């Protein structure tokens, strides 16, 4: 199913303003530059610490007993009936941003959901060879620790985290482990080679991502895997083995090119919500279009039974 979603066939003035604000800002670094690479190496070797402003503003706590830093974000009223396992984006190089936590707090509040957020190892120090065993073990341990039923669990992620969600599904399939009931992806990175030629026509409209710089990060992250491997570029995976997948994407995002490419394949269990002129992971922005997208997310999540 492919749905084109807009607000009365118009783009909100808030989204236009927000795009103009972020366009000149260096929100996404080019890690090909030596000084950026060297800093990224240090960051990837430094144990993750939750930022003070995140601790203060959101209902988030550390989970003990899981491999590596993993957090639990709860609704403001502390009451939850659903669980989401969330894999954050950041090109496999960067830790979660403030906007991630803001968005997740909204999702938790709107859905009475507990959100489990593992902080997986980052490149350039670590690669997919390190991330896959880590995330598989973290998921299995979380399911066991909280006695989670796969039929009532939602897997969710954005950008690189969206791609990692699809990698995790393949790892679960390989080990014959039950999969979550559904998968919700925001602007997923489906092909880390960034080789889709249709990206070039979108590039001038994308204020956040750069084709070549992002492809470099993907190449480093791939480690010993070929960049065409379904495990690191899940556009090449067999989606028929996945639970229902719901993809949210904006047409001003270079990664939309691969979302569109995937939609041309016969994957009946994949549902698409395309937002015209929206940017990469726009669902995290404080704009009306993200509110509309989150309304759809709530409908999708509500279809599952409680845990």
Which whole-number Å values give the CA distances from 271 to 110, 279, 290, 300, in the listed order? 21, 19, 18, 11
Burial of 72-102, coded b for 16+ CB within 10 Å and e otherwise, reads bbbbeeeebebbbbbbbbbbbbbbbbebbbb
pLDDT at 209: 93
Which whole-number Å values give the CA distances from 268 to 132, 185, 238, 264, 275, in the listed order? 27, 16, 12, 11, 20
Query: Which is nearest to 153 in space by CA: 299, 21, 2, 301?
Result: 301
pLDDT at 266: 74
CB 251 within 8 A of CB 202: yes
Sorted by sequence, the CB contacts under 8 Å of residue 215 that are 6+ apart come out as 192, 193, 194, 195
Give the rounded percent of residues in the chain with a pLDDT score beyond 90. 84
pLDDT at 68: 83
Query: Which is nearest to 244 in space by CA: 304, 183, 190?
Result: 183
For 3-54, the pLDDT digits (tens) are: 788 777 789 999 999 888 877 665 678 889 999 999 999 999 999 999 999 9
Distance CA 175, CA 8 (A): 46
Q: Which helix (H) or strand (E) holds 32?
A: none
DSSP code of 82?
E
pLDDT at 304: 56
Q: What is the mean pLDDT of the chain?
A: 92
- Stretches where the chain sits below pLDDT 50 are 305-307
CB neighbourhood size of 201 (10 A): 10
């Amino acid at each position: 199913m492919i749905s084109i979603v807009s607000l009365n066939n118009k783009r909100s003035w808030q989204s236009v303003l927000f795009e103009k604000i972020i366009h000149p800002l260096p929100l996404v670094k080019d890690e090909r530059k030596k000084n950026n690479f060297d800093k990224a190496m240090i960051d990837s070797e430094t144990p993750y610490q939750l930022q003070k402003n995140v601790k203060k503003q959101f209902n988030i706590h550390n989970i003990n007993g899981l491999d590596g830093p993993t957090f639990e974000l709860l609704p403001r009223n502390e009451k939850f009936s659903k669980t989401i396992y969330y894999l954050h984006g950041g090109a496999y190089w960067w830790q979660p941003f403030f906007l991630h936590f803001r968005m997740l707090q909204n999702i938790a509040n709107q859905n009475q959901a507990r959100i489990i957020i593992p902080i997986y190892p980052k490149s350039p120090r670590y690669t997919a060879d390190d991330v896959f065993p880590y995330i598989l073990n973290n998921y299995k341990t979380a399911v066991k620790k909280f006695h989670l039923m796969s039929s009532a669990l939602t897997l969710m992620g954005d950008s690189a985290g969206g791609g990692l969600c699809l990698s995790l599904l393949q790892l679960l399939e390989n080990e014959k482990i039950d999969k979550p009931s559904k998968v919700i992806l925001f602007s997923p990175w489906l092909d880390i080679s960034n080789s889709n030629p249709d990206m070039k026509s979108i590039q001038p409209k994308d204020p956040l991502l750069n084709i070549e710089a992002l492809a470099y990060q993907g190449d480093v992250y791939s480690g010993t895997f070929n960049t065409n491997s379904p495990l690191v570029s899940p556009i090449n995976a067999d989606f028929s083995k996945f639970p229902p997948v719901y993809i949210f994407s904006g047409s001003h995002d270079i990664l939309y090119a691969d979302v569109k490419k995937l939609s041309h394949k016969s994957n009946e269990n994949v549902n698409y919500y395309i937002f015209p002129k929206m940017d990469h992971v726009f669902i995290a922005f404080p704009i009306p279009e993200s509110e509309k997208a989150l309304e759809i997310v709530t409908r999708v999540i509500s279809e599952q039974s409680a845990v």
